[in-house]
Amino acid sequence: MEYNEDKVDETALALMYLTTFKDGIAYCSWKGLDWDILNRLHEKGLISDPKSKAKSIVLSDKAVKMSEQLFKKHFGKEKPDNVVNLKSNKIYQFKITLSEITPVIWRLIQVPERYSFWDLHVAIQDAMGWEDYHLHEFNIKHPKKEKISHIGIPDDESLDDFNKFIAGWNEKIKDWVTMKNNRTVYTYDFGDGWMHDIILEKIISAEKGIKYPICIDGKRKCPPEDVGGPPGYENFLEIINNPDHEEYQERIDWLGKKFDPEDFDPAKIKFDDPEKRWQTAFQDK
């Protein structure tokens, strides 16, 4: 009988979700599938070589995320967006402050406890007003160690290199962020170097009927992308506030729209689906 190998591989990867376990900072799954399937998944760069003597295979950072998504796609049960999971109804309230900018640009957001660092990244981007053009990272103290860990997008997806960035989509904020370990630094755009001070202010119960995440407060508009970091933004404001400046028209044309640094309304913030953002960024390529 002829069959679609890609669909078989997709289903196999989905089933790996049931047997995936964490070994240190690597995610592994037992070798319980057909060898041809495992070999194809290895050729696609999703798992380590199944021919090794180990009883398990290592999943790539991308494969871990795909496995969860595919399992939910094929075997999950749908529920309304506004239904609160009574087993996990905690909400984390974070204050986000953009560093080295005066007057201060800040946001106050509430996100579900179940969020991963990737999900939190998307919420920060949307609340601040960034366009997610560049790389990012969270610097946070490891909950069981003194060292600072770097969570974001791994710059090398090889299966034997886990010492640089930990994949944000595989780490839950509840496993790292506590009221005792409540601070992290979020950096966006390694060129401009936008550093955000992220503070967990409190953990509350979810309110029935509210769809999280939400932005409940904040002040001032986010700087434009690629403006040159804090020094560049300061220079940008000086120019656009002076119509007589020799670079005024050039800057207005570059921006392509009016810019009011005081303009911000939390009610206008719309949050993207982090799952769809991840698929657009990685799986759809």
**232-276 confidence digits (pLDDT tens):** 999 999 999 999 999 999 999 999 988 999 999 999 999 999 999
| Tokens encoding 140 | 């946070």
Domain containing 10 — which CATH number? Answer: 1.10.10.10
Q: What is the mean pLDDT of residues 51-68?
A: 83
Beta bridge partners of 205: 90
Residues 189 and 146 in one domain: yes
Contacts (Cβ under 8 Å, ≥6 apart) of 243? none
**Confidence check: pLDDT of 283 > 90:** no
Residues 125 and 62 in one domain: no
Contact 103, 86 (CB under 8 A): no
Last residue of some domain: 48, 75, 102? 75
SS3 content of the chain, % helix, strand, coil (to 5): 30, 25, 45
Residues 13 and 138 in one domain: no
Identify whether 239 is part of a domain: no
Up-side HSE of residue 226: CA atoms within 13 Å toward CB? Answer: 7
H helices within the chain, ranges in order? 5-16, 35-43, 61-75, 117-128, 229-240, 248-255, 274-278
Domain containing 188 — which CATH number? Answer: 3.10.290.30
**Confidence check: pLDDT of 196 > 80:** yes
Q: Compute the mean pLDDT over every residue in the chain, rounded to the nearest whole number.
A: 88
The domain total for the chain is 2
DSSP state of 266: G
Residues 95 and 142 in one domain: yes
Domain hosting 273: range is 90-220+264-283
Last residue of some domain: 15, 49, 75? 75
Residues 269 and 136 in one domain: yes
In the chain, the DSSP E strands lie at: 21-23, 26-30, 56-59, 90-98, 106-112, 136-141, 148-152, 166-167, 183-188, 194-205, 214-219
Identify whether 250 is part of a domain: no
If 0-12 CB within 10 Å is exposed, 13-18 middle and 19+ buried, where does residue 217 land?
A: exposed
Closest to 147 in 3D by CA, of 134, 166, 130, 128: 166
Identify whether 241 is part of a domain: no
Compute φ and ψ for 47, nearest 5 degrees. -135, 165
Identify whether 10 is part of a domain: yes
Identify whether 18 is part of a domain: yes
How does residue 284 score in pLDDT terms, banded at 50, 70 and 90? low
Residues 215 and 110 in one domain: yes
Identify whether 233 is part of a domain: no
Last residue of some domain: 25, 42, 75? 75
Identify whether 155 is part of a domain: yes
Residues 12 and 35 in one domain: yes
DSSP state of 182: -
Give residue 86's pLDDT: 44
Residues 65 and 95 in one domain: no
Residues 61 and 99 in one domain: no
Q: What is the mean pLDDT of residues 112-132?
A: 97
**Confidence check: pLDDT of 38 > 90:** no
Identify whether 230 is part of a domain: no
For 52, 105, 106, 230, the CA distances from 225, given in Å and listed in that order, are 46, 15, 17, 11
Contacts (Cβ under 8 Å, ≥6 apart) of 222? 98, 105, 128, 129, 130
Q: What is the mean pLDDT of residues 41-48?
A: 87
**Confidence check: pLDDT of 85 > 60:** no
Residues 101 and 202 in one domain: yes
Residues 143 and 273 in one domain: yes
Residues 71 and 94 in one domain: no
Other beta carbons within 10 angstroms of residue 274's beta carbon come to: 22
Give residue 26's Cα distance to chain centre: 19
* Spatial distance between the Cα atoms of 94 and 150, rounded to a whole number of angstroms: 19
